[in-house]
Amino acid sequence: EKGGYDWFMRKEIYEQPRAVADTLLGRYDENSRLVLDEIRISENELRSIDKIVIIACGTAFYAGMVAKYAIEHWTRIPCEVELASEFRYRDPIVGPTTLVVAISQSGETADTLMAIRHAQEQKARVLAVCNTNGSTIPREADAVIYTHAGPEIGVASTKGFLTQLVACYLLGLYLAQVRGTKFGDEIAATMAELQAMPAAITEVLEAIEPVLDLAGEFADAPSVLFLGRHVGYPVALEGALKLKELAYIHAEGFAAGELKHGPIALLEEALPVFAVVPPKGRDQLHAKVLSNLQEVRARGARTIVLAEHDDTDVVPYADVLIRLPRVSTLLQPLVATVPLQVFACELATRKGHDVDQPRNLAKSVTVE
Ligand code: F6R
| Per annotation, catalytic residue among 244, 288, 351, 363 | 363
Is pLDDT at 182 greater than 90 in this prediction? no
- Residue 155 CA, ligand 1 centroid: distance in Å: 8
Question: pLDDT tens digits for 8-25?
Answer: 999 999 999 999 999 999
ipTM above 0.85? yes
Give me ligand 1 centre to Cα 157, in Å: 6
Highest mean pLDDT out of 23-32, 98-107, 354-363: 98-107
Q: In testing the pocket of ligand 1, which one of 13, 61, 85, 109 has its CB within 8 Å of the most ligand atoms?
A: 109
pLDDT at 267 over 80: yes
Q: What is the pLDDT of residue 183?
A: 84
Please report the pLDDT score of residue 364 as a whole number.
83
Work out which ligand 1 atom sits closest to the CA atom of 112: 16
pLDDT digits (tens, 9 = 90+) for 171-180: 999 999 999 9
User: Ligand 1, atom 9: nearest CA belongs to which residue?
Assistant: 58
Q: How far, in Å, is the centroid of ligand 1 from the Cα of 341?
A: 14
Q: Decide if 123 is catalytic.
A: no
Compute, in angstroms, the gap from residue 149 CA to the centroid of ligand 1: 14
pLDDT computed for residue 241 by the predictor:
98
User: What pLDDT, in 10s, does the model give residues 294-303?
Assistant: 999 999 999 9
The 3 state secondary structure assigned to the chain is: CCCCCCCHHHHHHHCHHHHHHHHHCCCECCCCCECCCCCCCCHHHHHHCCEEEEEECHHHHHHHHHHHHHHHHHHCCCEEEEEHHHHHHHCCCCCCCEEEEEEECCCCCHHHHHHHHHHHHCCCEEEEEECCCCCHHHHHCCEEEECCCCCCCCCCCCHHHHHHHHHHHHHHHHHHHHHCCCCHHHHHHHHHHHHCHHHHHHHHHHCCHHHHHHHHHCCCCCEEEEEECCCHHHHHHHHHHHHHHHHCCEEEEEEHHHHHHCHHHHCCCCCEEEEECCCCCCCCHHHHHHHHHHHHHHCCCEEEEEEECCCCCCHHHCCEEEEECCCCHHHCHHHHHHHHHHHHHHHHHHCCCCCCCCCCCCCCCCCC
CB 305 within 8 A of CB 293: yes
pLDDT of residue 360: 86
Nearest protein Cα to ligand 1, atom 5: 58
Q: Which ligand 1 atom is the nearest neighbour of the CA of 58?
A: 9
Q: What is the pTM of this model?
A: 0.97
Supply the pLDDT for residue 39: 80
| Average pLDDT estimate for 219-248 | 96
Q: What integer pLDDT is reported at residue 83 of this predicted model?
A: 98
Ligand 1, atom 11: nearest CA belongs to which residue?
Answer: 58
Backbone torsions φ then ψ of 37, nearest 5 degrees: -55, -35
Tens digit of pLDDT for each residue in 35-87?
A: 887 788 899 999 999 999 999 999 999 999 999 999 999 999 999 999 999 99
| pLDDT value at residue 362 | 82
Burial environment of residue 90 by CB neighbours within 10 A (0 to 12, 13 to 18, 19 or more): exposed
For the chain, the average pLDDT equals 95
Nearest CA to ligand 1 atom 16: 104
Strands 51-56 and 79-83: parallel
Distance 6 CA to ligand 1 centre (A): 22
pLDDT band for position 363 (50/70/90)? confident
Q: Contact, 94 vs 83, CB < 8 A?
A: no
Question: What's the rounded mean pLDDT across residues 323-338?
Answer: 97
Of the pLDDT bands very low, low, confident and very high (cuts 50, 70, 90), residue 323 is very high
On the question of pLDDT at 258 being above 80, the answer is yes
CB atoms within 10 A of CB 261: 9
Q: Give pLDDT, residue 7.
A: 93
- By percentage, how much of the chain surpasses pLDDT 70? 100
Ligand 1, CB cutoff 6 Å, lining residues = 57-60, 104-106, 109, 112, 156-157, 241, 245, 364-365
Asked whether the predicted pLDDT for residue 30 surpasses 90, the reply is no
